[in-house]
Amino acid sequence: MSPIEHFGIVFLPAAAIVVVLNRRLPTREFVGAAFVGSVFPDIVDKPLAHEVGLLPSGRVFMHSIPPALPVWLAVAWYGWRTHRPRLSAVFVAGHLLHILADHYQSFRGPNRSLPPEVLWPLTEVAPRPPIPGWAGPQHISLHLWTLFSVSMLVVLAYVVIEDVVAHTKCG
């Protein structure tokens, strides 16, 4: 699934809820939290698996519930602490829906099952090729994705640090 598809799966229903409850369009912070949450698993896992080789697949670690759960709890706590529960909720929803969307085929049909990647590292995952099929000629798409991921993570780190500093000064 592309980043835009992941974003759409989260943003469209979340925006509809905001419009119905608040009778106004979502804020840019809400849109940003939805986008970052919806692509977060890929911007972390794909470079770590395919560029650095630290993960057995581009669909483990942040694509897995055990490592993602502490992130969700931290984000939810911070949203509650800073009186922005909707922002934290849309980030967590985006992250969770990303995981479910990547494995939707496993939940369909008569042989419904939870894929082992969703519970990694508690379960073994099937080995995958170190270079994914979407990498493109001379792995250009992979390198561009890694550049995008690192850029997103740097900007995200900056925004989070600035936000934490601003909220620790205020209270």
pLDDT in tens, 97-146: 999 999 888 777 777 778 888 999 999 888 788 788 888 898 999 999 99
Helix axis angle, 85-102 to 3-22, nearest 10° = 140
Question: Can you read off the two tokens belonging to residue 93?
Answer: 């929803």
SS3 135: helix
- In 47-171, where does DSSP find H-type helix? 65-81, 85-102, 140-170
For the chain, the domain total comes to 1
DSSP state of 31: H
The pTM for the full model equals: 0.90
List the domain range (segments joined by +) for residue 123.
Answer: 3-170
